[in-house]
């Protein structure tokens, strides 16, 4: 059970594996008014930056679960770098089926709602492990501008327009599912640029060092095509944000 090697290559030395930068992650932590001792379960925790920096800055405790062995190892290393190994732990496993030892104050799935086949199913997973009055964090794309054609849809990692909603539609969906939206922090075009463009440099450095690797042709094509795809389609059409929700 692991992610394909291409994911590890593409993400390279990035610490935040979504279109948030460190400032936005910090803004989110401060906006949530996290009290020392807050317990967090982070499903699909990536390299653990959310848990590690919030443990350092806010005194939270938590567990991160991710399917990638490489990302889990990087998260453990990050916890050691920040001196928070006594506050956070990271588990290699299937986030959708993980069972924590006890319920938590905050349950998060930031950018991986595929674990529940979409937002409704993911919120069901998060709700299982929340204490009464606890908070769910969901990171999810939305259409900034209605995609004009199928080429735009596919360039934004979707198969149809219906894969994502616009921002009012997404916020409305949370309400339809019985949750109050109590905070949100949205990516912007600059943070999208920083995330996407970092992939290109990671890919180029890897290609220079590994020209004969079996993945080289596939990743060479990605590097050739993705910068134009980003500026032509994703940058204007696709938004992304993290939404804090409390059950009604």
pLDDT tops 90 at residue 1? no
Fold (CATH) for 5-188+238-247: Rossmann fold (3.40.50)
Model pLDDT, residue 58: 98
Per-residue model confidence as pLDDT tens digits over 17-26: 999 999 999 9
The model carries a pTM of: 0.96
The domain spans of the chain are 5-188+238-247
Is residue 204 predicted with pLDDT exceeding 90? Answer: yes
Average pLDDT of the residues in 83-101: 96
| Over residues 69-86, mean pLDDT | 98
Integer Cα distance of 132 and 104 in angstroms: 9
Provide the mean pLDDT of the chain: 97
Residue 225 has pLDDT above 90, yes or no: yes
pLDDT of residue 218: 98
């Amino acid at each position: 059970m692991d992610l394909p090697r291409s994911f590890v290559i593409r993400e390279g030395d990035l610490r935040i594996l979504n279109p948030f930068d460190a400032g936005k992650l910090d803004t989110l932590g401060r906006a949530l008014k996290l009290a020392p001792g807050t317990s967090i379960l982070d499903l699909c925790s990536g390299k653990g930056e959310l848990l590690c920096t919030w443990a350092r800055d806010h005194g939270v405790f938590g567990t991160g679960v991710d399917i990638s062995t490489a990302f889990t190892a990087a998260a453990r290393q990050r916890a050691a770098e920040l001196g928070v190994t006594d506050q956070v732990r990271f588990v290699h496993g299937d986030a959708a089926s993980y069972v924590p030892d006890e319920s938590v104050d905050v349950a998060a799935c930031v950018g991986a709602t595929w674990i529940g086949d979409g937002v409704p199913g993911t919120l069901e997973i998060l709700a299982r492990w929340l204490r009464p009055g606890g908070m769910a964090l969901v990171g999810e794309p939305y259409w900034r501008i209605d995609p004009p054609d199928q080429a735009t849809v596919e360039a934004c990692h979707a198969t149809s327009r219906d894969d994502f909603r616009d921002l009012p539609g997404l916020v409305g969906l949370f309400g339809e599912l019985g949750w109050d939206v109590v905070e949100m922090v949205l990516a912007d075009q600059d943070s999208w640029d920083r995330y996407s463009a970092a992939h290109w440099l990671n890919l180029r450095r890897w290609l220079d060092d590994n020209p004969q690797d079996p993945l080289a042709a596939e990743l060479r094509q990605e590097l050739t095509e993705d910068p134009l795809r980003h500026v032509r389609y994703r940058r204007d059409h696709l938004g992304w944000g993290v939404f804090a929700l409390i059950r009604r």
